[in-house]
């Protein structure tokens, strides 16, 4: 069986969790003896990186006496920028082949910029994952670029969420027919292979091949069930996982990960409806057996030794060369200024040319390891930390009962995420929270869907319910309002809103959406316990909340500044509020509708506003239009007032306390 060159790509969007599907595919291909590379980032830079590495290998064959690895940054930069001055950083004058070497480097630059590389694709198999539909543009661009990287007789495979939800649209935009769903039957890629890719352990090493760092790390990722018994119209699970699979073994996969990559602190499970599984008791027991029972602690393993062990064994040189470098730098930063060992470490790094992640070599890393190992062991004193289990997709409040809540409480669950997507589910939701608190669970979280068929008032009520439950039960509930985006194009819209983030629900408007986003900007996207904090952000009641939705956006974004400004030059939320109320009380219905249409469009065009002669209306619109640009314009008086406000130490302290 010939070794294939396999490239796995995640488009360069921002996301919290690593691509589990690609991690399983990496395991699959490595099991078959293939060379696997993972990339997330600018694909143009990746192409230049590959050309630069090829150039270095050719230069090594001509002049092996020169340490070409140290010149990688300069060669890469020269190819990317075409700046001849960069060549001065590459010293090959001592070689008798100096003219040939310079020619090789210039040829590499021309190879990229002429597009010649497109005629010589490198990869036998390219796999591209996809995620949310609103990442459409960057995803389609990635797929179309990936088409240039696969050999004529190779294969480009596109899968994941977007590809499964909109396969026809993806095929039309790229010419590639996507794979729909999960790889849960043998022979999906190679007919002669009996491996079921979806059941394989994850290859954690690929995460060290890239610069991007996923916010959720140091965890086991996986499923103990697949699919969902519900068919919610706003959810993609019924398309992605149409068959409900009640049990997927967990323990053996975790054992495999520990043996190869080391132990992880937390357990992040992405089951879509775990309480619907008839195997729930068995799943909970397996979670406990894996070391995630209530109160279980985690002691950080020796990641330093594990990284160098895997580098020596050739598990994934591209990844572990970077991982080992990071371990060394992390150790140095920990010791710098605190121990004499920092100087020893720094001197060793200099001796073995451990200076830059792009130039460090495997040989030098393995040579420095025996020098640094005793230093690491001397200072490595891990302390026990609490482990956590997170059913990340949430649990179904309608399925809670005393028995399954007792089981949930027996594991190290934190937070317990309970879905609260609709105000109609309030009785089931409150019952689920109360049952959980009775069993000792104190930390909760949920995503609150809005901009679907709900009203703004319903969002406020759901948020208020959580704040009140926190006060009543002495618990912590973090709410994350999540804006609904269609997952399919809809025939009644001229624009395909599934491919962007511009969709406005039937009971919402652009101004209200922006107001919610502005509020969440100040709360860092979440709403926690604390009545005073909630009322400051969202209003004391529905009347204040609805008024807040109408308030100028910058009054919300810079709320403390404009409150201060109310007392300085009569230009703040209280003055806006008086003007707003007077308009609503005195103007006729037709005029009010015209005003509200402009405000709700969130487009304060001068031409639209100019047609109003009423001084009261002009004053009202002045709050929306006059300061929107002024607050960031250094020449404006408002900007200068903001600088004065920010520099006042007493004000800064009050602002910090209120955050």
Burial of 125 (0-12, 13-18, 19+ CB in 10 A): buried
Q: What is the mean pLDDT of residues 378-395?
A: 95
- Asked whether the predicted pLDDT for residue 628 surpasses 80, the reply is no
Same domain for 167 and 32? yes
Sheet bearing 123-130, strands edge to edge: 35-40, 5-10, 123-130, 150-160
Q: Closest by alpha carbon to 314, among 84, 35, 527, 585?
A: 35
Q: What is the mean pLDDT of residues 192-208?
A: 95
Q: Is residue 375 part of a domain?
A: yes
Q: Quick one: what percent of the chain has pLDDT higher than 70?
A: 98
User: Which pLDDT band, with edges at 50, 70 and 90, does 183 fall under?
Assistant: very high
Same domain for 188 and 311? no
The CB-side HSE value for 20 (13 A sphere, CA atoms) comes to: 19
Q: Closest by alpha carbon to 383, among 288, 249, 265?
A: 265
Q: Closest by alpha carbon to 209, among 395, 389, 40, 28?
A: 40
pLDDT of residue 1: 63
Joined tokens for residue 241: 């996982």
Domain boundary among 327, 349, 381: 381
Burial of 457 (0-12, 13-18, 19+ CB in 10 A): middle
pTM of the model: 0.90
Q: Is residue 217 part of a domain?
A: no
Q: What is the mean pLDDT of residues 52-81?
A: 95
User: Which pLDDT band, with edges at 50, 70 and 90, does 607 fall under?
Assistant: confident
pLDDT of residue 500: 87
User: Which pLDDT band, with edges at 50, 70 and 90, does 305 fall under?
Assistant: very high
Same domain for 308 and 191? no
Q: What is the mean pLDDT of residues 51-79?
A: 95
Q: Is residue 403 part of a domain?
A: no
Joined tokens for residue 81: 């920028």
pLDDT, tens digit, for every residue of 395-421? 999 999 999 999 999 999 999 999 999
Q: Is residue 349 part of a domain?
A: yes
Distances in whole angstroms, Cα of residue 470 to Cα of each of 391, 397, 441, 474, 480: 21, 17, 12, 5, 15
Q: Is residue 319 part of a domain?
A: yes
Residue 559: CB atoms within 10 A of its CB come to: 21
pLDDT, tens digit, for every residue of 315-368? 999 999 999 999 999 999 999 998 999 999 999 999 999 989 989 999 999 999
Distances in whole angstroms, Cα of residue 290 to Cα of each of 135, 281, 406, 429: 36, 14, 18, 30
List the domain range (segments joined by +) for residue 182. Answer: 5-209
DSSP state letters, 553-618: HHHHHTHHHHHHHHHHHS-SHHHHHHHHHHHHHHS-HHHHHHHHHHHHHT---HHHHHT---HHHH
Residue tagged 């006729």 (tokens)? 588
Same domain for 312 and 198? no
Q: Is residue 508 part of a domain?
A: no
- Asked whether the predicted pLDDT for residue 654 surpasses 70, the reply is no
pLDDT of residue 650: 60
Q: Is residue 650 part of a domain?
A: yes
Same domain for 35 and 170? yes
- Structural contact between residues 264 and 257, judged by C-beta atoms closer than 8 angstroms: yes
Helices (H), 439-509: 456-473
Joined tokens for residue 176: 């590639």
Q: Quick one: what percent of the chain has pLDDT higher than 90?
A: 81
Same domain for 87 and 195? yes
pLDDT, tens digit, for every residue of 210-253? 999 999 889 999 999 999 999 988 888 998 999 999 999 999 99
Same domain for 179 and 319? no
- Structural contact between residues 292 and 283, judged by C-beta atoms closer than 8 angstroms: no
Same domain for 194 and 325? no
Q: Which residue has the higher pLDDT, 525 or 257?
A: 257
Q: What's the number of domains the chain is made of?
A: 3
Give the distance, in angstroms, between the CA of residue 36 and the centroid of all CA atoms in the same chain.
Answer: 23
Same domain for 46 and 165? yes
- Structural contact between residues 226 and 243, judged by C-beta atoms closer than 8 angstroms: yes
Same domain for 307 and 202? no
Residue tagged 């948020």 (tokens)? 463
pLDDT of residue 653: 44
Burial of 106 (0-12, 13-18, 19+ CB in 10 A): middle
Domain boundary among 209, 240, 257: 209
Domain boundary among 381, 412, 432: 381
Using only C-alpha atoms, what is the Rg of the chain?
29
Q: Is residue 453 part of a domain?
A: no
User: Which pLDDT band, with edges at 50, 70 and 90, does 566 fall under?
Assistant: confident
User: Which pLDDT band, with edges at 50, 70 and 90, does 605 fall under?
Assistant: confident
Same domain for 204 and 328? no
- Asked whether the predicted pLDDT for residue 659 surpasses 70, the reply is no
Same domain for 195 and 311? no
Distances in whole angstroms, Cα of residue 12 to Cα of each of 42, 43, 123, 131: 6, 9, 20, 11
């Amino acid at each position: 069986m010939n070794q294939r060159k396999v490239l796995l790509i995640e488009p360069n969007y921002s996301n919290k969790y690593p691509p589990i599907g690609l991690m399983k595919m990496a395991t699959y291909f490595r099991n078959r003896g293939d060379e696997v590379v993972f990339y997330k980032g600018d694909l143009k830079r990746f192409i230049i990186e590959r050309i630069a590495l090829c150039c270095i290998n050719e230069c090594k064959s001509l002049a092996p006496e020169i340490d070409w690895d140290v010149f990688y940054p300069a060669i890469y930069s020269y190819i990317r920028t075409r700046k001849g001055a960069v060549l001065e950083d590459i010293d090959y004058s001592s070689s008798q082949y100096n003219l040939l070497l310079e020619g090789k480097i210039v040829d590499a630059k021309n190879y990229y910029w002429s597009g010649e590389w497109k005629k010589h694709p490198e990869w036998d198999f390219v796999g591209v994952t996809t995620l949310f539909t609103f990442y459409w543009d960057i995803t389609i661009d990635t797929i179309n670029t990936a088409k240039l990287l696969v050999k004529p007789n190779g294969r480009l495979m596109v899968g994941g969420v977007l590809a499964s939800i909109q396969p026809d649209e993806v095929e039309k935009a790229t010419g590639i027919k996507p794979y729909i769903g999960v790889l849960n039957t043998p022979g999906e890629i190679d007919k002669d292979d009996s491996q079921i890719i979806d059941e394989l352990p994850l290859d954690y090493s690929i995460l060290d091949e890239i610069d991007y760092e996923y916010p959720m790390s140091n965890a086991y990722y996986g499923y103990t069930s697949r699919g969902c018994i519900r068919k919610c119209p706003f959810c993609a699970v019924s398309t992605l996982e149409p068959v409900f699979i009640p049990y997927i073994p967990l323990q053996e996969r975790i054992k495999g990960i520990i043996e190869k990559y080391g132990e992880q602190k937390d357990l992040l499970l992405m089951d879509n409806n775990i309480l619907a599984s008839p195997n729930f008791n068995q799943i909970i027991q397996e979670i406990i057996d894996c070391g995630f029972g209530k109160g279980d602690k985690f002691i950080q393993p020796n990641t330093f030794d594990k990284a160098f062990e895997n580098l020596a064994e050739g598990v994934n040189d591209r990844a572990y060369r970077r991982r080992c470098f990071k371990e060394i730098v992390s150790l140095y930063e920990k010791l710098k200024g605190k121990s004499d060992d920092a100087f020893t470490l720094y001197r060793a790094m200099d001796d073995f040319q451990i200076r830059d992640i792009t130039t460090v070599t495997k040989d030098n890393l393995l040579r420095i390891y025996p020098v640094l190992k005793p230093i690491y062991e001397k200072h490595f004193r891990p302390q026990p930390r609490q482990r956590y289990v997170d059913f990340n997709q949430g649990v179904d409040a309608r399925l809670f009962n005393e028995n399954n809540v007792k089981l949930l409480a027996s594991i190290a669950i934190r937070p317990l995420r309970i879905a609260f997507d609709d105000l109609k589910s309030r009785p089931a939701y409150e019952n689920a929270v109360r049952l959980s608190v009775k069993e000792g669970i104190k930390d909760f979280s949920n995503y609150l869907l809005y901009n679907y068929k709900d009203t703004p008032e319903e969002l406020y009520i759901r948020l208020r319910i959580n704040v009140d439950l926190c006060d009543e039960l002495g618990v912590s509930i973090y709410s994350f309002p999540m804006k609904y985006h269609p997952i399919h194009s809809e025939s009644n819209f001229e624009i395909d809103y599934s491919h962007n983030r511009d969709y406005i629900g039937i009971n919402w408007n652009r101004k209200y959406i922006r107001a919610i986003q502005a509020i969440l900007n100040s709360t860092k996207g979440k709403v926690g316990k604390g009545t005073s904090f909630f009322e400051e952000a969202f209003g004391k009641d529905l009347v204040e909340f609805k008024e807040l939705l109408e308030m100028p956006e910058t009054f919300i974004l810079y709320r403390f500044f404009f409150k201060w400004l109310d007392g300085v030059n009569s230009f703040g939320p209280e003055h806006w509020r008086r003007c707003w109320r007077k308009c609503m009380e005195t103007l006729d219905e037709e005029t009010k509708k015209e005003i509200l249409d402009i405000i709700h469009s969130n487009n304060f065009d001068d031409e639209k506003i100019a047609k109003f002669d009423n001084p009261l209306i002009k004053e009202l619109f002045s709050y929306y239009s006059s300061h929107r640009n002024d607050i960031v314009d250094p020449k404006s008086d408002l900007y200068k007032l903001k600088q004065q406000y920010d520099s006042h130490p007493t004000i800064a302290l009050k602002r910090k306390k209120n955050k």
